[in-house]
Amino acid sequence: MANGWAPFIGLIVLAVFCAVVWFAAPKGENQTVWRSTLVLSAVAMYIMWAITLLAQLHPLISPIRAHLRPEHETPR
C-alpha cells in the first residue's frame, strides 16, 4: 500500500472537491459564504487528516497493552 502517497491523493481529491464547490455553489448573494465555508472546511479537515496520517506513518513507539490479567503478565 502506497501509504506515503495518501496525502497527495488526498490533495487531489481536495482540489477536485474545491473546484466542484467553487462552481456548484448556489448563486445569489450568499455565494461567497457558500464557497468560502465549504472550501475552508475541506482544507481544514484535509490538513488535520493528513497530519494524523503522517504522524503514524513511521511511528517511533508501539502500543503496550494495559489491564492484562496477572497470569499473562510477563516480566519485561
Among 19, 23, 64, 69, binds other proteins (CB under 8 A): 64
Regarding 32 and contact with other proteins (CB under 8 A), the answer is: yes
Q: What angle do CA 11, 9, 46 make, to 5 degrees?
A: 40
**Which residue in the set 12, 23, 66, 69 belongs to the binding site for other proteins (CB under 8 A)?**
66
Site size with other proteins, rule: CB under 8 A: 40
> Residue 23 or 73: which CB sits closer to other proteins?
73
Kindly report the backbone phi and psi dihedral angles of residue 67, in degrees, each rounded to the nearest multiple of 5, phi listed first. Answer: 55, 40
**By CB under 8 A, residue 49 contacts other proteins:** yes
The CB-side HSE value for 30 (13 A sphere, CA atoms) comes to: 4
